[in-house]
Structure 1
Amino acid sequence: MSADLHYWLRLCLVPGVGPERQRELLASFGLPERIFSVGQFALAQVIGERLAETLKKHDNVAQIEAALAWAGESGNAILSLADAAYPQALLQIPDPPTLIYVKGRVALLNAPSLAIVGARTATPQGEANAEAFAQALSQAGLTIISGLALGVDAAAHRGALKGASGTIAVVGTGADRIYPARNAKLAREIAEHGVILSEFPLGTPPAAYNFPRRNRIISGLARGVLVVEAAVDSGSLITARMAAEQDRDVFAIPGSIHSPLSRGCHKLIKQGAKLVESAEDVLEELRWARPSSMPAVTALAGADLQPMGEDADFLAKMGFDPITPDTLVARAGLTPEALFAILTVLELDGRIARLPGGRFQRIN
């Protein structure tokens, strides 16, 4: 296997010969070993004279040896299009990565899965929804895929790790890099109990253009994509668009008409995405049997505590939209001092969250 992998790495580590050119060469000549055995003239007929010369002369031995050493470590693997363990779902998309670098449980790559994506600057309610849905759907037997970003992605991974079916993080760096650094602990847990996956060579740093590119893998691996919160110009909508192009289901959780992070979801729903209010909505659309042990989860998931008495009355007046203290004073008929005393208690109880700009939001 290492000899075959050597040639796959040699092909994929040639600068300028990207995935599209790689597929053209594989279609024309067969396996990578054969590509390197043909003459430069024959190669030039497929990829042009300049790239053919680069392919023949580029020295990437050090990179190849480093990658082979990494793949030889416990829990690591590098899979080519020709490997039986390569995710079959990715073979169905127009532009599957030629090589993928995998850290963790390789078997998860071919498990039934659902992607959950959303805003990096998610609201507390958005993160609570992502975590609760991910846990419930993981418990139902679906591996949860996301992109290890802050906000919704991280919450989805955390929820999935609490379920039974694991999680896959598709990253926009090399599989040996952790980005963002704030998710280092989470990344280590995913590598131990799930999968870190990248199509980028080892050592690849975070670059803005890598993240939209990896989104096609997030959607391509999954049976569907659930968008939790998203602005209208977000990367999550790119993932949703790619999912639709790949003939995957698209789901979206609606939110407040006043929240910028709801507008992306509302746009998707207008375009035909399935409006989701519960985990059961997703399972029903996927025709996936709901285990009897799976708890019901709705888009208002949060703490298990239910407000009672005066708290219930105050939270009802507060609503679920982000709200300013001035608006709350008028709505609840309280003095500012009394209001902040109530807000402090509810925040400590985990029933509300403090947002940027001095606003507050109900969580459950």
Structure 2
Amino acid sequence: MSGTVSDYLLYRLGQWGVRRLYGYPGDGINGILGALGRNSEFQFIQARHEEMAAFMACAHAKFTGEPGVCLATSGPGAIHLLNGLYDAKLDHQPVVAIVGQQKSMGLGGHYQQEVDLPVLFKDVASEYTVMVSHPSAIRHAVDRALRIARAERTVTCIIIPNDVQESPYQRPPQVHGSIHSSVGYSEPRVVPKEQDLRRAAQVLNEGKKVAMLVGAGALNAADEIIEVADLLGAGVAKALLGKEQRVLEGDPKYPASQDLPDFPYARYAESLGLRGIRVDRPEQIVRAWDEALSANKPVVLEAYVDPDVPPLPPHISLEQAKHFAEAIFKGDEKSAGVIKQSIKGMVEQLKPHKS
């Protein structure tokens, strides 16, 4: 195809099924932004910050199962991506970061905002980081970045100097040293060994009171999880993503680390054209969920909860319970309210409830 390297970048991304880029504008990616303006098939989602763009790409991967792609300028913009990219790496999500760079002829000359980007990204995108130094190289750079991101469920990175972005695209020639690649990836079907399945089944069948703790690995096995739970009469719980400082360390509440400013989330959502719902009494919960789930637009559900209610999971360990008690007796500023709500919670668990 004719056009610039940036035009071909979008063309190749489109062949892989990518239709959305999350990013923030900057001079280091002007060539790519210009190509986006010429291409009606792509949607550029402008974040308020490059870090947020990387988180959005990670969320895209989590919700769609397809690679998320984020875009940032060189130097500081590229650095800002890292936090969101590490989130994707540690959550094993396929994300491709496309990053601008200063003109290739100035690299190594300590040019304004020049950062050694291959070194910067070599940890978070350890499986594949490449700087495109020739117009013909953009094809295999895109193909490998997307294929590796999908196959390894990880982060990959393509760095494109801005003079390369604006250069005319050149098809790889049929000569020695030229790389030719293609579009497409088929996920393998991974099947456990029969002996491992039998051993797992034996553990479950011999259990007297089976409880199932289900994590992200079972994302696409909801029907199977439900069937196994029904056969075993087992309860199912999801992984707990966090615990409180009182439980983990036995320290009383440190207000500076936990007190948050009072922000009107629901009203702010309404000002953006979304649906905002605020709940500050228990009897409002059912109605709020009904409204939220039947809304024809995105909804922000703001729940005003009692900060004295201890967020303790039902499977709290003896050591964690000990730490929680220590925090209270060390002089936690909310100790009276926490004790009151803890007793209230225990009474509620002992009361008979309608099924």
TM-score for both structures, normalised by structure 1? 0.26
